[in-house]
Amino acid sequence: MAKIFSVLGRARIARVVNPLGRSLVRAGVSPDVVTVIGTCGVLVGALGFVARGHIFIGLVVITISVCTDMVDGAMARARGYSTPFGAFLDSTMDRIADAAVFGSVAYWEGTSGHPVAMAAALICLAAGQVVSYAKARAQSVGIDCNVGIAERAERLVIIGVGALLFCLHVPYVFDIALWVLAALSLFTAGQRIVHVYRQAAGQRTPLGTPAPERTEQRR
């Protein structure tokens, strides 16, 4: 359900971000600048608001900032090319943003007397990083790893919906969302490990010979 929701949401948002991306390219703005600005916005929303318990304001700031992840992609398409550094920067900034979001949630849960929910947030943080790393590491040895039921978009949708329902005073829903997301993230990490194991079955890399590498380009 989260995957369907994220796909539909991206399709609707694309109608807005594609013209915006073309306008920014014509103005001479680099997609890399937009990527960094979006990450800074997530840091402000997470560390400045969520960590202090201002969940609704933090949710709004983070949601707006995360949308820049689609804007920089639209800019790259409008420009007609991508760069290796752009892809590297985009992926790195995503990891920083995700760590800020779940780290801030864990801090808030811990300081507000909810250690069990804090543990769930920490599992989400760690498992989410493993999920992303597994894909990147697989690509570095020439294996596609676009599998899993809780990729980055789905993780953000689940935590966002849980936070929104919390702001609407629905009891226990945020803690439940964290534990569901923790379980899905761990399962996704396992899915990717199994997928790469199957794809790499029978392959051998002679010692002293570097594994094949694949460069991921910006969307």
Q: Which residues are catalytic?
A: 94
Is 187 within 8 Å of 118 (Cβ atoms)?
no
d(CA 81, CA 68): 18
List Cα–Cα distances, 54 to 126, 131, 159, 185, in angstroms: 24, 28, 15, 25
d(CA 159, CA 178): 7
* DSSP for residue 209: S
- Tokens matching residue 156: 């953000």
Radius of gyration for the alpha carbons in the chain, expressed in angstroms and rounded: 18
- Tokens matching residue 6: 């994220």
